[in-house]
Amino acid sequence: MVHDPRQRFVALALAAGLAAACGSDDPAPSGEAAPVDLTPPALEAEGAAAFAALALDCVTKEYPYGLRVRLESPDDLGLPRDLTPVFYGCYDWHSAVHGHWLLARLTRRFPGAEFAGEARAALDQNLTGERVAGELEFVSKKGRRGFERPYGLAWLLQLDAELAEWAADPKSSDDDRGRAARWRATLAPLVENGVERLSEFLDKLEHPVRVGEHKQTAFSVGLIHDWAVSVGDQGMQDLLAARARVWYGGDRDCPVDYEPSGQDFLSPCLAEADVMRRVLPSGEFAAWLDGFLPGPLPATLEPVHVPADEEDAFGHLHGLHLSRAWMLQGIVSALPEDDPRLPGMAALASRNAEAGFAGVDPNNYVGSHWLGSFATYLATRRGIRE
């Protein structure tokens, strides 16, 4: 029996088939392709419960909190629950947003699970018209058009997409479809505000941001594009496809050897490729990838050591492993079936997934408040349309 909570969480993830997300049990050396099954196993109920517990622990937990807001006067000061009355938990705004997304996504897939009732109650508690009006008032004040743009707003659109799909899911109960439709309608004014602010920004953005953290353009564009496909926003799809070609279409020889930076949770090179596979036809994408990431993928994309630190200064690297894994899976999904790069990429995704799931520590709130969402995104293959 596993007694340590962190070990128990990893055991649950392993039992759910997550750590071997798309490969064999024996990791291959860098550059050597291992025998792989390119279709990862599905998330099972026990693993889903472990991830849901992390979000349930934080979506209504106001402190600790990292407040990032521009102040125009003393009147702008306030407590998180008063400033942003829907997304006040999970340490910061964007993590609260994707914590709600996690609860919606996993409850839709496991409606009879023990955690599902608590998840519905948490969504009911926070997604009310009065609270959404408070969020809209906050973001509409002077100097806040850039608030949580693009990262937090991209996750807000993911929440909207999940609710839209849930409301139309024939496998869900009438009650759950009705709840999802109600929650989505309640959130709609904030979503509309986010779409307007993102569209304005992305249309003007001449040079993409290529860092490995929140401001990165490519990762958020991938989430936004998936939302646009899900809800049928052709205008946004066209905008993102056109901008991606301008930003990335001529890129060659991405300096992946320079990755990662010390606090990355996103790979600049893999995220760019993960966007381009969404907007280019398969054959064109494969040819583009030949020039963008030529040759074998380097050892710098293997899992890295994450130093222990009292304030978790390097904890982003656990998320890096998870996001690398889903980006590699996304790239694999878009390449032709006979592409020789598939086995090596799938095996590399598996090794990063294993490291990422092992790094989710429920005893470390600075990490657990967001890593559960990243683990869920990977485990449920959210960014891949079958």
pLDDT score of 41: 58
Residue 165, pLDDT > 70, answer yes
Q: What mean pLDDT comes out for the span 356-372?
A: 92
> Of 286, 292, 287, which Cα lies nearest the Cα of 271?
292
pLDDT score of 10: 54
Q: Count CB neighbours of 117 within 10 A.
A: 12
Average pLDDT, the chain: 90
pLDDT score of 310: 81
Weakest-pLDDT range from 29-33, 159-163, 165-169, 245-249: 29-33
Residue 33, pLDDT > 80, answer no
Residue 189, pLDDT > 80, answer yes
Residue 298, pLDDT > 60, answer yes
In our burial notation (b when 16+ CB lie closer than 10 A, e otherwise), range 351-366 reads bbbbbbbbbbbbeebb
Pair of tokens at residue 243: 């901008």
Q: Where is pLDDT greater, at 183 or 22?
A: 183
Weakest-pLDDT range from 2-6, 80-84, 157-161, 162-166: 2-6
Weakest-pLDDT range from 73-82, 199-208, 228-237: 73-82
Q: How confident is the model at residue 11 (pLDDT cuts 50, 70, 90)?
A: low
CB 304 within 8 A of CB 351: no
In our burial notation (b when 16+ CB lie closer than 10 A, e otherwise), range 24-50 reads eeebbebeebbebeeebeebbbebbbb
Pair of tokens at residue 17: 């088939």
CA 6 to chain centre: 22
Angle at 198 between CA 193 and CA 200, to 5 degrees: 100
Distance CA 229, CA 331 (A): 18
Residue 36, pLDDT > 50, answer no
DSSP 47-106: HHHHHHHHHHTTTT---S-------SSGGG---HHHHSSSS--TTSHHHHHHHHHHHHHH
3-state secondary structure of 190: helix
Within 13 Å of residue 272, how many CA atoms lie on the same side as its CB? Answer: 25
pLDDT score of 385: 83
> Of 62, 72, 199, which Cα lies nearest the Cα of 138?
72
Reduced DSSP (H G I as helix, E B as strand, rest coil) percent helix, strand, coil of the chain, to 5: 60, 0, 40
What does each C-alpha distance from 243 to 112, 146, 207, 239 come to in angstroms?
42, 19, 10, 6
Percentage of residues of the chain with pLDDT beyond 70: 89
Residue 40, pLDDT > 80, answer no
Pair of tokens at residue 249: 């279409």
CB 113 within 8 A of CB 48: yes
DSSP 23-41: S-SSPPPTT-PPP--SSPP
Pair of tokens at residue 246: 């301008």
Return all residues near 96 (Cβ < 8 A) that are at least 6 apart: 58, 59, 84, 86, 87, 88, 89, 90
Q: What mean pLDDT comes out for the span 29-55?
A: 69
Q: What mean pLDDT comes out for the span 26-50?
A: 60
Is the Cα torsion angle 67, 71, 73, 76 positive or negative in sign? negative
pLDDT digits (tens, 9 = 90+) for 319-355: 999 999 999 999 999 999 999 999 999 999 999 999 9
Longest C-alpha distance within the chain, in Å? Answer: 62
Distance CA 13, CA 362 (A): 13
Q: How confident is the model at residue 311 (pLDDT cuts 50, 70, 90)?
A: confident
pLDDT score of 18: 46
Q: What mean pLDDT comes out for the span 232-244?
A: 98
Distance CA 371, CA 363 (A): 12
CB 152 within 8 A of CB 84: no
Pair of tokens at residue 155: 């996750």
pLDDT digits (tens, 9 = 90+) for 82-95: 999 999 999 999 99
pLDDT score of 81: 95
Pair of tokens at residue 237: 């799809």
Q: How confident is the model at residue 9 (pLDDT cuts 50, 70, 90)?
A: low
Q: How confident is the model at residue 39 (pLDDT cuts 50, 70, 90)?
A: low
Q: What mean pLDDT comes out for the span 260-264?
A: 95
Q: What mean pLDDT comes out for the span 192-213?
A: 98
Q: What mean pLDDT comes out for the span 126-153?
A: 97
Q: How confident is the model at residue 360 (pLDDT cuts 50, 70, 90)?
A: very high
Reported as type and span, the H/E element at residue 267 is none
Distance CA 318, CA 361 (A): 10
pLDDT score of 31: 45
Weakest-pLDDT range from 19-33, 68-82, 306-320: 19-33
pLDDT score of 313: 87
